[in-house]
A and B are shown apart, each in its own frame.
Chain A
């Protein structure tokens, strides 16, 4: 029954604009497509037929109770976990399931870990230098030298994340909040198309949370940003659109007000 010719939604290849394989195509305004993604660990369904679409340049917040599959979702997008079924596309053409972590990172999807993950034995400057978009092979790294343009780029990011004064300091002695910012800075150095930010304000003071909100808001438009966060106040302060995950699928999507007044969401968060 399901013959392509009978399908009224079928677009034939010759109608499409030619796109070079491997080149990011966001002509349909969507940058990330996840369709019917399922992941199970020993029978436990971490993701259950999840479908999610992220628009180009959008700032999207993902919320949901513990175990809803938020981190697994990030693992699937960044190539750490291969789903049992479903498809994950970056733009129209790039199939992320065929790529490994470094390839996905080089294509422009960058990730901040839940626990701040910076290289503690390197200086703040060196952390950013390592993250910089460049040829990431071993031989090029041996002969890589920083030029003025690179230094300017690092300075620029240092200003953005407010760590200019700490440039020469070892990353290990930064405060918790500063480490979080440094890691966001490391994402920026990679000139990402998509930034996946896992719990950016966990363990931060109020002032730090406000600064982080400002930082993320200033980045939207230039990058597509997906933020996973538990802090509802923070989510409210940055979110245009919120997606609620529950038991591995999308429960609902909408503005913060819509979502918070949704009886299903209330039930999920507060129980019966």
Chain B
């Protein structure tokens, strides 16, 4: 019975889902393996830069996945999802910042550089505890989770839906961006948090730590994927899908629709926070631009291109679009936004169910 359960956890009836899942597993096994076997000069040895780049894609995939739960499954087009990613990122950034200690430019044992620069004498109360990893880790989930809870509680209970909800989620992330830009907020203002040295006592620049962070990102993505898929197969998952398809009917069946929306919204926000926390040590910086509405819109584009409501579609979409972004911004930086915009329009018009939908259709055609 137990093995049957594990089997159904890893294998789904949808073949594409299995392919994506096992590709991810292969990726997080092969990259470290190659780096262990081949010498650094070999072509099969991934550089620290490449490993971190792949790790960044994995965190974006996790972010896309979390938005798919809210948008693809529950039908809430959240245009401020990047805010939760950024809050998770800031929680991790605050931990990394306090690990710098005396090695900062000003050499203050407690205060981060930017606070010394601003002539602050004391650590603000909300920075307490962030020198401890055991404190920072739950904050990665709690900070976005609490914001999502408060925001969702107010919005869903007042039955704000559709385009109005989309707009206020956008306003939320924009307001946070403006707030985090201010030096008085105590989060490093414009420059954000950067110049990290250590994570859990290991040098954050070292290749071993890069590979470890990459693997943890991959494991987090796989774990989140399996957990989300499990949730989508429970009664809760079915109610959430039902809310997307016919909200009033669900309400008249006796379900408190707002509670289900809130549940999935908070869960997704926590996943986004985790993605942000894994992103920050790999890119080495977090600043208020992560809150920018444009970032949140980009997440929506990944999910739309990959295909909504499939979970693996969001993973494919996030990885492909970001790979395209890396390549194109390297070659022709001016045209990237146009390409992204055009792709989005084309996908919406010609592939309303995204790549996942296209694959599913192709498979059905092959069967008949």
Contacts and interface: CB of A to CB of B under 8 A. Distances in A.
A118 B250 CA distance: 10
B239 A141 contact: yes
A105 B257 CA distance: 13
Given A103-B254, A126-B238, A139-B263, 20 more contacts: A101-B252, A102-B254, A102-B256, A113-B249, A118-B249, A119-B241, A120-B245, A121-B245, A122-B238, A129-B235, A130-B238, A130-B253, A136-B253, A137-B259, A138-B236, A141-B234, A141-B236, A143-B234, A144-B236, A190-B253
B348 to A, nearest CB: 20
The B interface, classified by DSSP as helix, strand, loop or mixed, is helix
A101 B251 contact: yes
Given A117-B249, A141-B234, A143-B234, A122 B256 contact: no
Interface in B231-289: 231, 234-236, 238-239, 241-242, 245-246, 248-257, 259-260, 262-263
Contacts of B254: 102-103, 105-106, 136, 190
A101 B253 CA distance: 9
A186 B256 CA distance: 17
Interface of B: 231, 234-236, 238-239, 241-242, 245-246, 248-257, 259-260, 262-263
17 contacts: A78-B252, A102-B251, A103-B254, A105-B253, A106-B254, A113-B252, A117-B248, A119-B246, A121-B245, A122-B242, A130-B242, A136-B255, A139-B263, A141-B236, A141-B239, A142-B234, A186-B253
A129 B238 contact: yes
Nearest to A106: B254
Contacts, number: 78
A118 B242 CA distance: 9
Contacts of A118: 246, 249
A37 interface: no
A139 B263 CA distance: 9
Interface in A86-120: 101-103, 105-106, 110-111, 113, 117-120
Contacts of A141: 234-236, 239, 260
Interface in A57-82: 78, 80
Contacts of B255: 102, 136
Contacts of A126: 238
Contacts of B236: 138, 141-142, 144
A131 interface: yes
Contacts of A102: 251-252, 254-257
